[in-house]
Amino acid sequence: MAKHLDLEEQEQLDQLKHFWAQYGNLITWVLIAVFGSLAAWNGWNYWQRSQATKASALYDEIDSAAQASDAERMERALAEMKSGFGSTTYATQAALLAAKTLHDTGKIDAARQALSWVVDASSDKAYQAVARLRLAGLDVESNALDQALKILEAPVPKAFEPLVADRRGDVLMAQGKTEEAKAQYQAAWRGFSEQAEYRRLVEIKLAALGVDVSAAAVAAEDGK
């Protein structure tokens, strides 16, 4: 009986050897791929967390420099942020923050560079729109009015369209094109919700141009 079992076990062993000889390499590579994928996934998550932590620390450094109006420290930190963590949201937010501080400290060219980097490097359309609006504002300050209008030509998310129309109105006013500016302000006013505080500012601009927006709104309702 024992001998019979030994023969049966030997047969099973031979079958196992045959199976492993035929499929062993495939099984090994599949296991390597599975465990390798798990290791890569865990490694990617760790790298992502590490990148976010480092980018957050740099953003805090830029924020601290902004509060201290330390433009040189800010520029160094921003350069490090862009080179090491340029694909993160922290980098975009840091560039927008830096641009404001650089502008306030008189470094207009550096502010423009920071905003232009957001337009070119950020994948977020909303942040790009904010950067374009601010760049157009810098152009108005420097009387580069045609350039400001060109910057505002790019499509933006719908929520930003009234802001772009308002800024375009400012540029046209600076060019002395009152009627065109009025049309842009009216478009901006219509685009903002009734609760939007910015709408009040547009109303003031329109009132200065002799436009009674309340009467225009009533006329629009009557025309429906």
d(Cα 15, Cα 20) in Å, to the nearest integer? 9
d(Cα 224, Cα 217) in Å, to the nearest integer? 11
DSSP state letter for 159: G
DSSP state letter for 88: S
What local confidence, expressed as pLDDT, does residue 142 receive?
Answer: 93
| Helix/strand/coil for 210 | coil
CB within 8 Å of 52: residues ≥ 6 apart? 88, 90
Burial classification of residue 47, based on how many CB atoms lie within 10 Å of its CB (0-12 exposed, 13-18 middle, 19 or more buried): exposed
Torsion of CA 101, 102, 104, 107, to 10 degrees: 170
d(Cα 129, Cα 168) in Å, to the nearest integer? 13
d(Cα 162, Cα 181) in Å, to the nearest integer? 13
DSSP state letter for 4: H
User: Which residue from 198, 154, 205, 200 is spatially nearest to 183, judged by alpha carbons?
Assistant: 205
**How do the pLDDT tens digits run along the chain, 224 residues long?**
444 546 565 565 566 555 556 655 655 555 555 544 444 434 434 445 656 778 888 888 888 988 898 888 989 999 998 988 888 888 999 999 999 999 999 999 999 999 999 999 998 999 999 999 999 999 999 999 999 999 999 999 999 999 999 999 999 999 999 999 999 999 999 999 998 888 999 999 999 999 988 755 534 444 44
